[in-house]
Amino acid sequence: MRKVFGIENFRLAQEGFCNANMDGRDAICIMPTGGGKSLTYQLPATLMPGCTLVISPLVSLMKDQMLHLQENRIEGLMFTASMSNAEKVEAYDRLNATAMGNDPAREVKLCYVTPERIGKSKKFMSVVGTMVTAKKLARIVIDEAHCVSQLGHDYRPDYKQLASLRMLYPHVPILALSATCPPVVLRDLIATLRLPPLTDGRGAASHGTVLFTSPLYRKNLHYKVLPKPPGSARLMRDMVKYILEHHPNQSGIVYCLSRADSERVAADLDSVSQGRIKTGVYHAEINDKAKEELHESWRRGRVKVVCATIAFGLGIDKADVRFVLHHSKSVETFYQESGRAGRDGRDADCIMYYRLQDALRTPGILSDPDWQRQVHGMAKFCLDLQGCRKLEYFSSFDSTWAEDNSRCGHCDNCTRDPASVVQSDVTLDAKRVLAVARILHSRKIKVTAAQLALTTRGAGPQSKLLQLAPGDKVTLSPLDTETLMAHMLLEGYLEKSYTPTAYRVQVYIKPGARARRL
C-alpha cells in the first residue's frame, strides 16, 4: 500500500473491506465520497492473482481511474465505445493472455467497462467466461452501485442487466461500492444483484454479504445555502465575487442544471471576471477528445473552474478542489456533487444556490412519486434556516449509521445568529396568495410561480385583470413571497400542474388539495 499507492494508513472502513475482499466474500461498502473506495478493490487486485472486472457508470470515471493506475504502474485497461478496431483487438488479446497465464508481461490486473458492455457485447462476455473457467477472474466490482436500484437518484437501466452476473458466475465474488445508498436502495440493490443476506462487517458471520459502512459526514466540508438572485447577470456577479474573494486561483466546480447552462455559465464567469477565472465546460454532448483535454487541463491546473452537469464528477479524484457551487435537483445529488471537494482533508466550501424556480423547471418523470419526493426534499433542505446540515443529511438518507448526533458547528445554520431568523405569522399573506390563485384558476388563466408571485404583490399583467385592492395584496418582499409560496407547495396549499409544449414541459401553479383548510 505504501510502496505502490503512497498511502501510509487505512481510513474509515478500508481495511475491513480489503480483508473481506481478499477472503473471497461478497461485500458492500458504503463510504462518503472522497473516502477512498477505489483503494478497497485496487489494493487486493495488486496483491492477488487474476483480473478484477470493474463496472463503472461513466467513461470519465474510468479514464480518471486509468490515469491513477498508470501513475502507480498498475496494469489496467478499459473498454469504451470510441475505441478503434486495433485497440479492441489489443485489449481482447491482453484479456486472453490473462486467462491463459502464458505471458505475465501482458496480464491485466484491472479491467474497466460500462454496464452497457456487459449487456450488449457477447464477445466481451465470452472472454470473461474464458477467464472464469481459467479461474483468472478474481472479483467483480460494481462502482456507484446505487445506480442498480430504480429507487436510487442515479438509476441506470443498463445496471439492471448486472443481475445476470451472479447466475453466470456464481463463484466469483461481487463487490458493490456507493456513497449514497439509503436502506431502501440497499435492500433493492441486494435483491437485484442476487446477493446473500447481509452480515455486519464489524462482526461478520461466516456466510452472507459483508456490509461495511462509514459516517456520511466529512467535517472539512462547509455547507451553505444561499438564495439565488433573480436574473442570471446578478447571479454571475455574485459567483465571480465569491470565487475571487474566497478562492482566487484555486480549483473548483460549478454544477449546472443543463448542458446549455454549463456552457453559458463558463462563458459568463470568464467574461464577468475579465479572464481572471479560467473556466472549462463538461457535459455529455462534448466529444471524448475534448473531455480528455479538459480533464487533463483541470488536473494540471491550467483550468481552474469546471462548469459542468452531473456527468462530470462520479469518481473524479482531484485532491485540491477548494469549492463546489451547486444548483442541485435533490439532496442526494447535492451530497454526491459536494464529495468532489476537499479530498486532501483541508477545508472546502460547498455552496448551494437555490430558488423555487429551479424545482419547477426540472419536473423529471411527472408520474414518478420518488422524483417528487426528491424535489420536495431539496426544497425543504434549502428553506430550513435552523437545522444543522450534517443532521439534515443523516435524516435525508435515513441513515442508521450515524454515530454522532451532535451539530457540526460550522455549516451556515450552525453559525447563523439566531436573532437574524425572524419568525412571523404569514397566515394573512398565505390567504391572499390562495385568493389570487383561486380567481386565476376559476378564470382558466394559467400562471407560473413567478407570475403568481408578481400578481399577488399587485404587479405583472395579470394584476391589471384582477384589479386587487391594497388590502388584497401580499405585503412581503419578492424573495419572501417566493419563500412563502415554496412552503405552501410543500404543505399542499398550492400544487403544480404540467402542460407539454413543443420545447419543454411548462409548470404552472394552482390551488392545492389543502387550500380549503386555510
Residues annotated as catalytic (active site), given as ranges? 37
Kindly compute the dihedral angle of the four CA atoms of residues 433, 436, 438, 441, in this order, to the nearest 10 degrees: -120
**What whole-number distance in Å separates Cα of residue 418 and Cα of residue 385?**
9
What is the arrangement of strands in the sheet containing 209-213, beginning at the earlier edge strand? 76-78, 110-113, 51-55, 137-142, 174-178, 27-30, 209-213, 198-200
User: Which parts of 195-346 fold into alpha helices (H)?
Assistant: 232-246, 259-272, 288-300, 331-338
**How many CA atoms does the CB half-sphere of 227 hold within 13 Å?**
12
Question: Is 498 in a helix, a strand, or coil?
Answer: strand
Q: How far is CA 448 from CA 465, 490, 509, in A?
A: 16, 16, 6
* Count of CA atoms in the C-beta half-sphere (13 A) of 68: 20
> For residue 182, which of 374, 394, 406, 408 has the smallest C-alpha distance?
394
Amino acid at 222: H
Local structure of residue 473 (DSSP, 8 states): S
Work out the widest C-alpha separation in the chain, in whole angstroms: 89
Contact present, 96 and 108 (Cβ < 8 Å) = no
Residue with cell 478496431: 85
Long-range pairs for 41-45: beta carbons < 8 A, 24 or more residues apart: 41/139, 41/141, 41/175, 41/177, 42/5, 42/69, 42/74, 42/110, 43/1, 43/5, 43/18, 44/18, 44/138, 44/139, 45/74, 45/109, 45/110, 45/138, 45/139
User: CA 376 to CA 413: how far, in whole Å?
Assistant: 20
The H or E element that residue 137 is part of is strand 137-142
Instruction: State the helix-helix crossing angle for 478-490 and 449-456, rounded to 10 degrees.
Output: 120
Is the torsion defined by CA of 483, 485, 489, 495 positive or negative? Answer: negative
Question: What residues have CB less than 8 Å from 100, skipping those under 6 apart?
Answer: 134
Q: How far apart are CA 139 and CA 29, in angstroms?
A: 15
- CB count in 10 Å sphere of residue 349: 19
Q: What single-letter amino acid sits at 472? A: D
- Distance of alpha carbon 111 from alpha carbon 99, whole angstroms: 13
Give the whole-angstrom CA distance, residue 110 versus residue 66: 9
